[in-house]
Amino acid sequence: QVQLVESGGGLVQAGGSLRLSCAASGSIFSNNVMRWYRRAPGKQRELVAGITSIGTTNYADSVKGRFTISRDNAKKTVYLIMNSLKPEDTAVYYCNLVMITTNYWGQGTQVTVSS
């Protein structure tokens, strides 16, 4: 059974930084994609960033230059470093793992950015 556990969310002032972590457990295939999504109040879930097993990354335009996604395959962990945070980054952030055609989700971690 694959499980994803996020951590690192919290309350931060605008301009501040946070680092989110997502630790995966269970049978993880070496070929996979890990992503961070977020859902702000009253809005649809949106893709924030993704990273493949070999380190290819992609970002939403709204976070380019501010957020960095990385992964440690040995630790089965993906990170999201968020700098220059803005109030509009406030959301629940979810970790997502895709293996073949199956999606796995974490429980989410709240990020709140005060102005």
Write out pLDDT tens, residues 49-96: 999 999 999 999 999 999 999 999 999 999 999 999 999 999 999 999
Model pLDDT, residue 31? 86
CA dihedral 99, 44, 66, 55 (to 10 degrees): 10
> Which pLDDT band holds residue 27 (cuts at 50, 70, 90)?
confident
Mean pLDDT of the chain: 96
Q: How far is CA 4 from CA 31, 78, 95, 110, 111, in A?
A: 17, 10, 7, 15, 17
